[in-house]
Structure 1
């Protein structure tokens, strides 16, 4: 995980007064001091009017992650390279009682072998160029992205609007715009290296970036849908969309531009998933009218507690320990053939999603609907499509994923 020291936002101009920061978390939430330092620096960026910080707050490469930030200017650095990254929840017409986890895991292991021959047509159907990174559609990527088969552990509230049922199985997909978003970010970075000051929204650069940004958000939503369709086909099931919520984007409002940096962008009454880890519960919630005050932002997951490099000294020191990380207490299975990723994405790397939900509910931002247990989590099998990502300056490229101690913009 990248650790932001403040250098990226260093300025020779006189220090600006900080914008108002609202903390939507309690003292029970584990918030790293470095994240609070980043948050304060973000509040001083040009054009920033106000900031909302959520219980999953943690350090990121270009500022703290778990934030909704209102600004008069556009700040592409805050959105970064995975524009439109989000989570989509689908219900399967596959009863939990018919699931055999090991059999389901064996089928889902073949995710990367399922072809998406209609990618060009699907892009055209949503008014995107039919050659817009069509080769990458339906691919999850590395890092903290996943496709997870889930079941309802417990119903926590009125689920009539979401139609959640204990007998049904579900797919939660976390992915984004893959190499498309990386190219958009790299392009703006190449032309305007000093992005720390943001962009005046009326400039050609801002208009162009926003147009490409919107394409990325639309592309990423389709990508999650196609990932879910691949998984459903392997399980011989049909699916129904429950929620599709991005958490890495910009939205225009009458007051300016809201930048969601690892914060789920919701409207009152909207259903949203809040992800745990592959060995802990995730949650389905409904946004209340009070999210208007948080700029339509809530947490989208538990939030990272330990960075990737640190995790290599904490867990998985032996093969048996690493094998143990691929199972959970419900008998669930994780599919991940990348040994480093198994360690870096261990459950102990993340905060308590239950506490995140508790804090958001105490602030009146959400109503809890259901807790979801992980059954099969597909992270990355050997040979899974590697789409080049840009994680910094345009001339620094590597395949999406992680080397030990390397950076990947963490979003939950």
Structure 2
């Protein structure tokens, strides 16, 4: 493989690979950590016909068929859609809710523990436990997103307006082609967390002096306690992806399309297979945003049970980082794939939701467990990367390697166990979630430095963890 690159300055590298150009946004330290496999995967992705653009954010790491941390773009009129460049957890994303509390209000560990226990009463963290929202018709949710929820689960209008998308419109006739088992597996999962790197975290904000005014406009203040939620489309999205992976792979075989990586699948947007996948992907996006909404609904109930029956937790923002969206860029309608990449629109951009048209929207970037997360805002210069930034810290070790190389004692130290700053966790032993320890991930501060140095986005707030609820 040809390994020639140009450095454009501002943490922007451009690789000349065998099959096209790859843009990489990373500072020198992070750039030096990328291994040959990530470039090999990009070169395979560039074999997909008529690609317009592909890039890596600094958290990029090897995934199935495509690296997590990829932005890849095709024209709608003659391009392709790739489930591999959407990801298996369709619509996985982030949500942040504000509280009226200051971090000093939750310094008592027993109080934080009580809130965590209450959250688990409303939000199942065990994969085998269903939620108690039997009156919610999941078909209404996959058809209409947040607008398909019963009114009693929408505390106020802000829960519908301060989100990237409240509902995705698509041809609902495609729902008839889904196997009946998808309904069975997704039943009872709306409002559940899921496992892996999904979490609910209580955090305290640290706002840079120069961002105090913008933070205030967003309803934020220094020291404020916020709730960050990370989850996706659960079984609905997983099964949509699984069904269409098989269908598109069979079509590729029939078309005579080959690729060095058999796990990289794609189809023309205009093909029957491409149309079916895109439409049903939107149903999974509707499930995902509704799932995070219902998790947040349960979190608000938990805070009310423990602290104040009238407490409001207004939503700051909800966004996704696994999807393919039609967007207008460079005077053309494009299909922008973001797999482990977050859209960060600048002030005034026409794609901003009306609530954030003037300021740009909050871009929500989680760290690893026990490390800081970030709330950012996009910059005009982000146009060079189709307004994509990182989606987190990015794994640097596999789950197996982490368990082999990191000790529970090292994990305990990173969580500050036994100190005033201890990050509480809902698991009885850290050993059960060792594969999610900070040592499994890149240094999130270096990831954020890469993004700000590339002039893609600015930090509005640093979010220091106080307590985390993980699934099992």
Distance 1:157 1:84, change over 3 A: farther
TM-score, with length taken from structure 1 = 0.81
Give ranges in structure 1 of 5+ residues lacking alignment.
1-15, 382-412
Cα distance, 1:107–1:136 mapped onto 2, change above 3 Å: same
Q: Is residue 2:113 matched to residue 1:105?
A: yes
Q: Tell me, yes or no, if structure 1 residue 31 matches structure 2 residue 39.
A: no
Please list, as runs of the form range in 1=range in 2, the aligned pairs for 1:82-121 lying within 5 A after superposition. Answer: 82-99=89-106, 100-114=108-122, 115-120=132-137
If each structure's helix is expressed as a fraction of its own residues, which one has the higher value? 2
Task: After superposition, give the CA deviation of every residue in 1:332-353 in whole Å (9 maximum; x if it has no partner).
Answer: 2122357665210011111111
Aligned length, in residue pairs: 364
Moved more, 150-159 or 297-306: 150-159
| Map 1:364-403 → 2, pairs under 5 A | 364-380=455-471
TM-score (normalised: structure 2): 0.71
Q: Which structure 2 residue ranges, 5 or more long, are not aligned?
A: 1-16, 123-131, 151-181, 253-263, 305-310, 347-359
Larger displacement relative to structure 2 (158-167 or 243-252): 158-167
* Alpha-carbon separation, structure 2, partners of 1:367 and 1:107: 32
Alpha-carbon distance in structure 2 between the residues aligned to 1:203 and 1:181: 21
RMSD (Å), alpha carbons: 2.6
Residue aligning to 1:164? 220
Alpha-carbon distance between aligned partners in 2 of 1:366 and 1:138, rounded to the nearest angstrom: 31
Deviation at 1:73, TM superposition (A): 0.5
- How big is the shift at 1:204? 2.2
Is 1:201 paired with 2:263? Answer: no
After TM superposition, the structure 1 = structure 2 runs for residues 3-402 of structure 1, keeping only pairs within 5 Å, are 18-29=19-30, 30-71=33-74, 72-99=79-106, 100-114=108-122, 115-120=132-137, 123=141, 126-128=146-148, 133-155=186-208, 157-158=210-211, 159-194=215-250, 196=264, 198-236=266-304, 237-253=311-327, 254-268=332-346, 269-316=360-407, 327=416, 330-336=421-427, 341-380=432-471
Q: Given that residues 56 and 71 in structure 2 are in contact (C-alpha distance below 8 angstroms), is that contact kept between their aligned partners in structure 1?
A: yes
Q: Which string of whole-angstrom CA distances, capped at 9 and with x for unpartnered residues, describes residues 146-183 of structure 1?
A: 01010113435422443321242101111000000011
Question: 2-side partners of 1:322 and 1:356: how far apart?
Answer: 21
Contact 2:136 2:149 in 1 (8 A): no
How much has 1:255 moved relative to structure 2?
A: 4.4
CA distance 1:208–1:103, change in 2 (3 Å)? same
Structure 1 residue 67: deviation in Å? 1.2
- In terms of mean alpha carbon deviation, does 18-27 or 171-180 score higher? 18-27
State the match for 2:354 in structure 1: none
In structure 2, the CA distance between the partners of 1:340 and 1:184, relative to structure 1 (3 Å rule), is farther
Q: Is contact 1:143-1:341 (8 Å) kept?
A: no
3-state SS of the aligned residue for 1:48? coil
- C-alpha separation between the residues in 2 aligned to 1:118 and 1:171? 26
Q: 1:241 to 1:380 in 2, by over 3 A?
A: same
